Amino acid sequence: MAATQALRALTLPSGALRRASRPAVRDALGYFDPHMVVVPGQRDPRAHASAREACPETPVVHPQLGRGGEPVSQYRFRPDTGVREVTDPGETGGEETGGVDILAVQSTDSLARLRRQLETGERRTASGAVTVLVVPDLSVEWDTTTLSTELPGRAELAGLGTALSEPVTVLAGGQQTEYSHEWSLTDDEGQPVSLRMAGLGATGRGGATFAQLTCTPRGTVAAEAVGADRFGLTSLTDVGPATADRLREHGYRTVDELRDAAVSDLAALPGLGRSTAETIHAHAEVIQSGDPLVLTNRAPVKTRNGQPPLCLDIETDGLTPTIIWQFGVYDPVTDRYRAFLQRTDPTDPKPALESFVTWFLAEHADRAVLTWNGEQFDYPCIERFLRQYLPGYLDAWNEVWTYDLYRWAVREGNALLPGRTNKLDHVARALDYDGADTGLTGAQTAAAYQEFMRNPDSEAAEPDWERHKAYCEDDCRALWHVYESIIGARRRDVTDSGSGGARGTQTGLTDFQ
């Protein structure tokens, strides 16, 4: 993977590590390719040892253990050298910019000690580098009586924000990976302090999850969470826990081993059958090769006038939207991206909608449009808002040829994809798409606009428009990358055993090209 300015920290909660097989953990490490691993959750030396054994060349941080009696550990990330432990806490790190300092405390009780170290100069961070603070037991408290939240250790966290001149991002072990919030605190002198906080996912809620947190030089964090069951044998279509146990009983412990097996041998296993064996084997090949497998001659898109489709993505204020505040369109013919945003009155859905639809109908009415899961979200949203605000354009929009690549590939079963989930960013990553480090997720873009809607006259509440444009553009370009990968993929039936299996046996070859 190419060098990046962002730190990739993989969170492997101790509870999930204890339940996951070693091949599954190695599979997750190979998939995410992190700069470092963080083990949140309960203090668990065995889980820590398991992670270290699985990735001996990657720093593994389990702050709950402490480091030689010291409740604070420190690491430094630089894009060219990766992550290294800082053994001399007084080391300044020079004047380098663009990196990340990682400070990990044993518990919230250690925050006061860290604050003293920073204030006295006993511990230093590099100037020009953001700081990521790992607090494994930190969890936001919810008061059901007052319907308010309380941040434990807020005074010490505010003091740390003051002691560190660079942006500070807190990774909270007790919050789910979907959690992202910017806290406004006050230090001892009454000065405002802003701290970003993201979750590490060791909550025990929602099932075992592995997640990669991408920490950018701006201090923003984007989480890519994948269920632990999407690694190892259970990552394959038609392989649940019982089937995985059966495969392991017969000597198949990794996806690689299944890929190298003969389909006839798999089909002979109790309870599998020919069809299931063919699907498992084909998906093992897809996962390990990173190449999609197309199972039909039917094209995902009917192009118009020989022109490829335009890639469309929208941003809203939530899953039940009151506004589409950004329309993004990528044209692969010109390699240009066009964005339509509502920057002024966040309560008025009409201006951005009108700008988009009039431009599209005037310039590209003869082009097909492609989305990812658009039939479930994008297209119904656009139609609903047109019907409500611009009914005169509805018939013309309904004449546009619209396609949903997710429906064609996943719902209709026309392709097997190498992503560990079928989310666009996961599929694109597996297909070697080099995405932008925006530090945003779909939930964060919606939350940012919700804040703008609540405080339209506040400069602090106004979204970083260029960053949000870049996020939407990245989704559009990722969609085009996936589409090109599918169009260029070899087409064959799952009954072709692909690599031929361990004995070089191929059965039922049905090559469509």
Q: How many CA atoms lie within 13 A of 296 on its CB side?
A: 13
Q: Where does 228-371 show beta strands of DSSP type E?
A: 293-294, 310-316, 324-331, 336-341, 369-371
Beta-bridge partners for 428: none
Residues 317 and 356 in one domain: yes
Residues 257 and 389 in one domain: no
Residues 283 and 357 in one domain: no
Which residue from 226, 227, 225, 217 is spatially nearest to 439, judged by alpha carbons? Answer: 217
- pTM confidence score: 0.84
Tokens describing residue 484: 């090109």
Residue 299 located in a structural domain? no
Residues 219 and 176 in one domain: yes
pLDDT by residue (tens digit) across 129-152? 889 999 999 999 877 666 678 899
Residues 121 and 135 in one domain: yes
CA-CA-CA-CA torsion sign (373, 376, 381, 384) = positive
Alpha carbons 193 and 161: distance in angstroms, whole number: 6
Residues 466 and 332 in one domain: yes
Tokens describing residue 385: 């808002």
Alpha carbons 252 and 261: distance in angstroms, whole number: 9
Which residue from 485, 470, 486, 483 is spatially nearest to 310, judged by alpha carbons? Answer: 483
Residues 139 and 56 in one domain: yes
Residue 301 located in a structural domain? no
pLDDT-based confidence at 508, cuts 50/70/90?
Answer: very low
Which residue from 152, 57, 63 is spatially nearest to 102, judged by alpha carbons? Answer: 63
Residues 115 and 22 in one domain: yes
Pairing type for strands 415-416 and 293-294 reads: antiparallel
- Residues 399, 404, 406, CA angle at the centre, nearest 5°? 175
pLDDT of residue 382 exceeding 50, the answer is yes
Pairing type for strands 209-215 and 221-227 reads: antiparallel
CATH no. for residue 462? 3.30.420.10
pLDDT by residue (tens digit) across 105-137? 999 999 999 999 999 999 998 877 889 999 999
Query: Which ranges constitute the DSSP H helices of 207-250?
Result: 241-249
- Residues 20/49, Cβ–Cβ less than 8 Å: no
Residues 6+ apart with CB under 8 A from 132: 7, 9, 100, 101, 102, 103, 168, 169, 171, 215
pLDDT by residue (tens digit) across 424-482? 999 999 999 988 878 888 888 999 999 999 999 998 899 999 999 999 999 999 999 99
Please give the tally of structural domains in the chain.
3
Task: Give the whole-number percent of the chain exceeding pLDDT 90.
Answer: 70
Whole-number pLDDT of residue 306: 86
Helix (H) or strand (E) holding 213: strand 209-215
- Which string of b and e fits 126-154 if b means at least 16 CB within 10 Å? beebbbbbbbbbbbbeeeeeeeeeebbbe
Full residue range of the structural domain in which residue 55 is found: 7-229
Alpha carbons 197 and 180: distance in angstroms, whole number: 6
Task: Decide which of 91 and 46 is more confident.
Answer: 46
Whole-number pLDDT of residue 220: 85
Tokens describing residue 224: 């890519």
Alpha carbons 317 and 326: distance in angstroms, whole number: 10
Residue 273 located in a structural domain? yes
